[in-house]
Amino acid sequence: MNSFHHVVKETEQDSRIDRLLTQLVANTSRTQIQKMIESGFITVNQQRIKSNYKCQIADKIDLEIPVKEEVQIEPENIPLEIVYEDKDLLVVNKRKGMVVHPTAEHQQGTLVNALRYHTDQLSRRGGVERPGIVHRIDRDTSGLLVVAKNDTTHLHLTEQLQARTMVRVYEALVYGVIDHEDGMIDAPIGRNPNHRVQMDVVTGGRPAVTHFKVLERYDEFTYIMCELETGRTHQIRVHMNYIGHPLVGDPKYTKRQTIRTDGQALFAKKLGFVHPALDQWMEFEVEQPEYFDKLLKAMKERS
């Protein structure tokens, strides 16, 4: 962890924090500082702030950045469930338990390792560690992902994500009985200032919108469908916890363990987008994974 700490002096009063830190922290640009602030790595008096915050005398500025270790990506012959593939992209049904791309903790067995073995045609816009990866889902969330084979395709798909025109529908099982049929959660998400490995609904976070619909109710649980309008880290998990209905089995956002599961009960069921090269709308859907189907049957038996 790289740390930087500074107490604001009288001569620095009323300085914008992003400009001040650009001067104080070596080898950083203002854009980098702004991204650190947005991600919650920079706080003032142990509180999250915005890039235009005006510093006051004796403000305590803390900057904590995890050290990024070099990641080696080796092709691995790991079976993939490919739903669709052509020369520009592929759609894969990622299995539960598989990390999408290598990290310092997971350098083997990831989706990217498997993709590197499957094809040498992957876009470079995601960087060395994330070739072809347009969007991600959590390790213990299974379901549909689109992977770009070239930079042009990657750019077009990213633009659809940013324009909120890509369809991403999930199914989940949550604690508690939701009494209304559907709803929308519009609450900004950012890093939890007290638990950096967790995300949370926070003031100054990035805009996040989740639509949900009740599919079935049980005695103590609700089976729902969620559609993402935005795509923040852990968005569905954070939003459902925020409204008091955390996902069953979620190891980060609930301590309830009335049902034994291996990770959160969530999977990416449907994916839709305009194919960049064909200029055609394409939509894909997968069946419930076996573990999820068994969980729902268990719910019906208990009710």
- Which residues are tagged catalytic? 138
Nearest to 132 by CA among 116, 109, 110: 116
CA 160 – CA 252 distance, rounded (Å):
30
Is the separation of the CB atoms in 82 and 286 below 8 Å? Answer: no
92 secondary structure, DSSP code: E
- For residue 84, the cross-strand partners are 91
Q: Cα 96 to chain center, whole Å?
A: 15
- Structural contact between residues 219 and 228, judged by C-beta atoms closer than 8 angstroms: no
Contact between residue 41 and residue 24 where contact means Cβ atoms under 8 Å apart: no
What is the distance between the alpha carbons of residues 175 and 187, in angstroms, rounded to a whole number? 20
Among residues 138, 131, 33, 32, which one has the least CA distance to residue 89?
131
For tokens 């045609």, what's the residue?
Answer: 121
Q: How far apart are the first and last CA of the chain?
A: 48
Would you mind telling me the total number of residues written for the chain in this entry?
303
**Cα angle 48-51-57, degrees, rounded to a multiple of 5:** 75
d(CA 38, CA 231): 16
- Beta-carbon neighbour count of residue 167 at 10 Å? 15
Residue type, 85: E
